[in-house]
């Protein structure tokens, strides 16, 4: 990524980086995301294959944690039933900020095949917790998991840490102006 | 200073409070979303109560609302590790009702894909059982091999895990050129890895100390609880529907039924239940080799059936040997294109019911191993 490449620049003999603290923090956060190991249904088996030697999920800097308190993001892999929804909400609330959610598979995105007649299936995990990245598929291919992880890293790299409110106001005002012009 | 008083303690009279703790539903070793309510006396398990329903996906409701072909994908999602084996009894039940004779080539393709999936299932079972005991390397080895099986099934059906490949009276697609070579390569690789795993895991002295003489299931208890599959065979009962009630073309193959013999530990303990799975992979390899040799080169893979299947009034029950045990489907038809009622005999559900019986009196850490040796899938338990 950009931060390390800049070390090679011949700036005052090299080894010096000029940049924002925010970039550094985001770089650190996006490159060592620990996730809550949370298998629910079929997608969890595909996620096991993803963790194994053939696809090697850990090259993204992810390590499975069994406790929500040590996790940076939660992967909801599978069908969320009403009985389980309660537990997912509790687990999400136990996680420390900053926290992210990846919803894996049709079931946790929208209810999937159980959308119409599944009287015991929650129609999308985003009804109880905020979701950052959706991975489609029933179950998704391991390549889709990789793409989802890359999208999450992209999202973390772009996030604002300092003066959040000021910036959001600024962005909104510029948006309004551009709207007026057009 | 005063003198030291010696206290005479009668250890049998010391009473400790019993504690009730929850294992799951979010727990890495419960193989899904099972919740076990465990009563422990110190470190010793005195009572286990499994709580179900965390993955209840309304299977029977879907069967009443959808027509016969649309149900097949939902059957895949019951036991999602061995989807090919799941589809088979359901499709066979419909064929029995409709009185369809399946082409010979289809029978062989079914045997081959089912046995390939059986190997994949047992690889996951042995790998996760090793992980429960603390061995991570077999997991990596087995998943490396499993990818080869998955890629064959993917080329046949288009999906990696939930195939929807069986159709009433045939298969969704014919085999591809080079299918035989791929299968033979898989068989070769499975045998090689199993020989490695035997040294690495099965006869590892740490693994033996963890799993031998733990969770002993006697043949009488296993039969009383209606256990089937490797759980029953691990107790020394040679019951296999492929031999005892031969369906499809299984009577044409020469294979053995591995049972727990008690080479290490006692018959019916965790080690013997696990070794049965490893030996079964070898037998599946033998069946695949014979089926590939006997399979007719040409032939149609679809029987002539109407697009909209209407079953005659009546009821049918069909069961086959799943990797986890007997899987049966009971269908009541009212003469329309949707079943009146459908009931699945979930293998994992029946096998899980034996847990409270065999885990009493063992250490808490052994409970995780006993659960791993039963090899349950929660999609089939809760349905």
Q: Is B339 on the interface with A (CB under 8 A)?
A: no
pLDDT score recorded for residue A40? 83
Tens digits of residue pLDDT in B223-236: 999 999 899 998 88
pLDDT score recorded for residue B14? 66
Tens digits of residue pLDDT in B198-232: 888 888 888 898 888 888 889 999 999 999 989 99
pLDDT score recorded for residue A22? 85
Residue of B nearest to A65 (CA): B28
Q: Which of A108-117, B80-89, B299-308, B357-366 is predicted least confidently?
A: B299-308
| Subunit contact A49:B150, Cβ cutoff 8 A | yes
| Subunit contact A113:B27, Cβ cutoff 8 A | no
Q: Which of A41, A77, A139 to mutate to test the interface with B (most CBs of B within 10 A)?
A: A41
- pTM as predicted: 0.87
CATH architecture of B59-358+368-382: Orthogonal Bundle (1.10)
pLDDT band at residue A7, thresholds of 50, 70 and 90?
A: low
Task: Tell me what percent of the residues of chain B surpass a pLDDT of 70.
Answer: 96
Q: Which residues pair with B167 in a beta bridge?
A: B170
Taking all residues of chain B, what is their mean pLDDT, rounded to a whole number?
87
Q: Is A104 on the interface with B (CB under 8 A)?
A: no
pLDDT score recorded for residue A5? 65
CA–CA min distance A91, chain B (Å):
9
pLDDT score recorded for residue A179? 63
Q: Which of A20-34, A165-179, B15-29 is predicted least confidently?
A: A165-179
Q: Which of A81, A86, A89 to mutate to test the interface with B (most CBs of B within 10 A)?
A: A81
pLDDT score recorded for residue B2? 65
ipTM, 2 decimals?
0.82
Q: Is A85 on the interface with B (CB under 8 A)?
A: no
Q: Which of A55, A67, A113, A145 to mutate to test the interface with B (most CBs of B within 10 A)?
A: A113
pLDDT score recorded for residue B117? 92
Structural domain spans, chain B:
59-358+368-382
pLDDT band at residue B43, thresholds of 50, 70 and 90?
A: confident
Q: Is A87 on the interface with B (CB under 8 A)?
A: yes
| Subunit contact B161:A91, Cβ cutoff 8 A | no
Can you give the three-state secondary structure of chain B, one letter per residue?
Answer: CCCCCCCCCCHHHCCCCCEEEEECCCCCCCCCCCEEEEEEECCEEEEEEEECCCCCCCHHHHHHHCCHHHHHHHHHCCCCCCHHHHHHHHHHHHHHHHCCCCCHHHHHHHHHHHHHHHHHHHHHHHHHHHHHCCCCHHHHHHHHHHHHHHHHHHHHHCCCCCCCCEECCEECCCCCCCHHHHHHHHHHHHHHHHHHHHHHHHCCHHHHHHHCCCCCCCHHHHHHCCCCCHHHHHCCCCCCHHHHCCCCCHHHCCCCCCCCCCCCCCCCCHHHHHHHHHHHHHHHHHHHHHHHHHCCCCCCCECCCCCCCCCCCEEEEEEEEECCEEEEEEEEECCCCCEEEEEEECHHHHHHCCHHHHCCCCEHHHHHHHHHHHCCCHHHHHC
Tens digits of residue pLDDT in B155-196: 988 888 888 888 888 888 888 888 899 999 999 999 999 999
Q: Which of A159-168, B38-47, B108-117 is predicted least confidently?
A: A159-168
Distance CA A91, CA A69 (A): 9
Q: Is B252 on the interface with A (CB under 8 A)?
A: no
Contacts of A139 in chain B (CB under 8 A): 160-162
pLDDT score recorded for residue B131? 87
Contacts of A40 in chain B (CB under 8 A): 32-33, 55
| Subunit contact B146:A42, Cβ cutoff 8 A | no
Q: What is the mean pLDDT of residues B294-313?
A: 81
Out of B28, B62, B162, the one facing A66 most closely (by C-beta) is B28
Tens digits of residue pLDDT in B50-87: 888 888 888 888 888 888 888 998 998 888 888 899 99
Q: Which of A54, A91, A106 to mutate to test the interface with B (most CBs of B within 10 A)?
A: A54
Q: Is residue A79's pLDDT more than 70?
A: yes
Q: Which residues pair with B325 in a beta bridge?
A: B322
Q: Is B160 on the interface with A (CB under 8 A)?
A: yes
Q: Is B154 on the interface with A (CB under 8 A)?
A: no
pLDDT score recorded for residue B122? 92
Q: Is residue A182's pLDDT more than 80?
A: no
Q: Is residue B153's pLDDT more than 70?
A: yes
| Subunit contact B28:A117, Cβ cutoff 8 A | no
Task: Tell me what percent of the residues of chain B surpass a pLDDT of 90.
Answer: 18
pLDDT score recorded for residue A113? 87
């Amino acid at each position: 990524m950009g931060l390390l490449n800049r070390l090679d620049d011949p700036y005052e003999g090299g080894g010096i980086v000029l940049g924002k603290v925010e970039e550094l923090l985001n770089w650190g956060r996006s490159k060592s995301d620990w996730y809550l190991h949370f298998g629910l249904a079929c997608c969890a088996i595909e996620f096991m294959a993803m963790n194994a030697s053939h696809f090697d999920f850990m090259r993204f800097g992810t390590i499975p944690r069994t406790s929500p308190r040590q996790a940076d993001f939660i992967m909801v892999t599978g069908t969320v039933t009403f009985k389980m929804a309660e537990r997912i909400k509790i687990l999400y609330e136990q996680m420390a900020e900053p926290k992210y959610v990846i919803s894996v598979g049709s079931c946790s995105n929208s209810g999937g095949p159980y959308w119409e007649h599944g009287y015991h299936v929650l129609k999308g995990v985003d009804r109880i917790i905020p979701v950052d990245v959706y991975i489609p598929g029933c179950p998704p291919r391991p390549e889709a998991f990789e793409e989802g992880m890359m999208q999450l890293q992209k999202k973390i790299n772009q996030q604002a840490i300092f003066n959040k409110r000021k910036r959001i106001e600024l962005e909104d005002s510029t948006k309004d102006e551009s709207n007026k012009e057009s | 200073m005063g003198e030291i008083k010696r206290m005479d303690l009668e250890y049998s009279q010391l009473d400790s409070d019993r504690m009730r703790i929850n294992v799951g539903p979010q727990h890495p070793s419960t193989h899904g979303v099972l919740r076990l309510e465990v009563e422990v006396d110190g470190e010793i398990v005195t009572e286990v109560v499994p709580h179900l329903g965390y993955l209840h996906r309304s299977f029977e409701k879907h069967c009443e609302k959808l027509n016969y072909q649309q149900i097949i994908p939902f059957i895949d999602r019951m036991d999602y590790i061995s989807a090919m084996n799941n589809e088979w009894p359901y499709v066979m039940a419909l064929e029995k009702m409709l009185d369809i004779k399946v082409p010979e080539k289809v029978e062989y393709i079914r045997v081959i894909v089912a046995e390939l999936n059986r190997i994949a299932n047992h690889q996951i079972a042995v790998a996760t059982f090793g992980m429960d005991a603390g061995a991570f390397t077999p997991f990596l080895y087995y998943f490396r091999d499993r990818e080869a099986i998955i890629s064959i099934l993917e080329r046949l059906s288009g999906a990696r895990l939930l195939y929807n490949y069986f159709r009433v009276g045939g298969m969704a697609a014919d085999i591809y050129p080079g299918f035989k070579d791929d299968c033979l390569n898989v068989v070769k690789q499975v045998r090689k890895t199993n020989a490695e795993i035997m040294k690495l895991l099965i006869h590892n002295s740490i693994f033996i100390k963890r799993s031998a003489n733990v969770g002993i299931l006697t043949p009488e208890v296993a039969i009383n609880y209606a256990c089937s599959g490797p759980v029953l065979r691990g107790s020394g009962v040679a019951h296999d529907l492929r031999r005892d009630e031969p369906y499809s073309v299984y009577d044409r193959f020469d294979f053995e039924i591995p049972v727990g013999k008690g080479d290490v530990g006692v018959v019916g303990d965790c080690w013997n239940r696990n070794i049965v799975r490893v030996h079964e992979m070898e037998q599946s390899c033998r069946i695949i080799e014979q089926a590939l040799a006997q399979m007719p080169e040409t032939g149609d893979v679809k029987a002539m059936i109407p697009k909209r299947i209407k079953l005659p009034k009546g009821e049918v029950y069909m069961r086959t040997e799943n990797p986890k045990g007997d899987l049966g489907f009971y269908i009541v038809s009212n003469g329309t294109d949707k079943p009146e009622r459908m009931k699945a005999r979930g293998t994992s559900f029946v096998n899980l019911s034996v847990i409270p019986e065999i885990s009493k009196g063992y250490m808490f850490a052994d409970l995780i191993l006993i659960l791993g040796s039963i090899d349950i899938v929660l999609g089939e338990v809760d349905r």
